[in-house]
Amino acid sequence: MELSFGEMALIAVAIVVLFGPDKLPQIARDLGAGVRKMRGAVEDIKTEIMKETDNPVSEIKREIEKVKDAAKDFNPMKDIEKDILTQPATSDEPAKLKPSEDETHEGPVSR
């Protein structure tokens, strides 16, 4: 809300007429103190809101760091290699030969 110079002058004249010139300094002090208290209350509310909104953010950041640390240690190939090495090689099928070692392999056929 913006006040023009004329509106501010009208308000000043109304205050002087209503309260008199003797009480004008006291009214100004009280008004200034009220504005300071209001600003302090607004700042307190702002800091409380920032604290409350900061806590979930920092909690989420900590959880992300935990996941990152767990992902650094995760190696799916290690589990696969361990399974392959520990499996017994008991199979009834004969071992398959490589095409270069198999004399009966004819290779790709063109038609």
pLDDT digit string (tens) for 13-61?
Answer: 998 899 888 888 898 899 899 999 999 999 999 988 888 776 777 788 8
pLDDT value, residue 93? 62
CB-based contacts of 105, cutoff 8 Å, min separation 6: 99
In a domain, 72, yes or no: yes
Per-residue pLDDT tens over the stretch 63-90: 899 998 888 877 777 777 777 777 655 5
With residues binned 3-state (H G I as helix, E B as strand, rest as coil), the percentages for the chain, rounded to 5, are: 70, 0, 30
* Domain total in the chain: 1
pTM: 0.40
Question: Has residue 6 been placed in a domain?
Answer: no
Three-class SS state of 84: helix
**96 assigned to some structural domain:** no
Spatial distance between the Cα atoms of 2 and 7, rounded to a whole number of angstroms: 10
Q: Is residue 78 part of a domain?
A: yes
pLDDT given at position 45: 93
Structural domain including 57 reads: 13-85
